[in-house]
């Protein structure tokens, strides 16, 4: 062994930390090398000094001070236990994140219709129609309104005939007014009435005639 290598192992050699084989090799080298033997002596002296280092001890009231702090800690624990459950659930973002992600995924899956892939829907019986009866939604004002208009016109004509007779003039005008009011109430659609100016003109004519 060369001196440099022996010196790198000397501290461990002096502490007896090396394998038997390496210890033997170093011992053999030390016998013939005074410089390395000197280094070994330095390490041994150092180890002796380390063994003689003073032992530090804690102060006399260390235990009492510590036990006082521990007693405070116990008191705190007891008080906490009185008000809170034994294991307080810890809610942290790290724990909530996967739950939130899973909830989002489930919502998206259900609302996108993906769940239909897994649920067997029963076959619809032949007597049940799958089509909605939406006839009530169909607005068919034309014929009804026409009917109403025809009725109003007919009445108006009758009223005109009546108003031509002087004895029935006031009666006819009030009847015409009632007729239009009822028409208005029935349809709740006054702009459509204005779309038929001949009704108005007829009624005006009737009024004028009555006057």
Partner 1 sequence: MEKETEKQRDYNLIRRVQNGDMVAFNDIVDRYKNRLMNTIIRMVSSQQEAEDIVQETFLRVYQHRNSFDFRHCFSTWLYTIALNLARNELRKRKRFKFFDIFDMQGHESEISVEMKLPSNLSKVLEKAIESLPDKYKTAFILRDIQEQPYEEVAKIMSIPLGTVKSRVNRARALLRDKLKPRMEESNALSKGTLLPVSLL
Binding-site ranges for partner 1 (CB under 8 A) = 8, 11-12, 15, 34-35, 37-39, 41-43, 45-47, 49-50, 52-59, 62-63, 65-67, 69-70, 73
Nearer to partner 1, 63 or 181 (CB): 63
Nearer to partner 1, 17 or 116 (CB): 17
Nearer to partner 1, 72 or 144 (CB): 72
The minimum distance between CB 110 and partner 1, in angstroms, equals: 41
Residue with tokens 């009011």: 181
The minimum distance between CB 57 and partner 1, in angstroms, equals: 5
The minimum distance between CB 20 and partner 1, in angstroms, equals: 18
Nearer to partner 1, 12 or 158 (CB): 12
85: left (phi over 0), alpha (psi -120 to 50) or beta: beta
Nearest 5°: the CA angle 186, 188, 192 is 105
The minimum distance between CB 51 and partner 1, in angstroms, equals: 9
Contacts by 20-29, CB closer than 8 A, 24 or more apart: 25/1, 26/1, 28/1, 29/1, 29/3
The total of other beta-carbon atoms located within 10 Å of residue 169's CB is 18
Cα–Cα distance, 13 to 39 (Å, whole number): 11
């Amino acid at each position: 062994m060369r001196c440099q290598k022996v010196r790198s192992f000397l501290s461990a050699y002096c502490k007896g930390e090396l394998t038997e084989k390496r210890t033997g090799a170093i011992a053999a080298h030390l016998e013939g090398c005074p410089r390395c033997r000197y280094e070994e002596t330095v390490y041994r002296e150092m180890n002796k000094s380390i063994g003689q280092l003073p032992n530090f001890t804690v102060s006399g009231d260390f235990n009492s001070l510590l036990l006082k702090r521990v007693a405070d800690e116990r008191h705190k624990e007891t008080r906490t236990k009185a008000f809170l459950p034994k294991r307080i659930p810890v809610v942290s973002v790290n724990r909530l994140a996967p739950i939130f992600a899973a909830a989002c995924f489930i919502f998206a899956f259900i609302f996108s219709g993906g769940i239909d892939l897994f649920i067997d829907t029963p076959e619809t019986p032949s007597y049940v129609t799958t089509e909605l009866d939406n006839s009530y939604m169909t607005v068919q004002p034309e014929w009804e309104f026409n009917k109403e208009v025809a009725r109003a016109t007919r009445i108006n004509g009758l009223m005109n005939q009546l108003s031509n007779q002087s004895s029935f003039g006031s009666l006819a005008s009030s009847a015409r007014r009632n007729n239009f009011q009822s028409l208005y109430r029935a349809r709740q659609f006054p702009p459509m009435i204005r779309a038929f100016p001949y009704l108005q003109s007829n009624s005006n004519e009737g009024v004028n005639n009555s006057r």
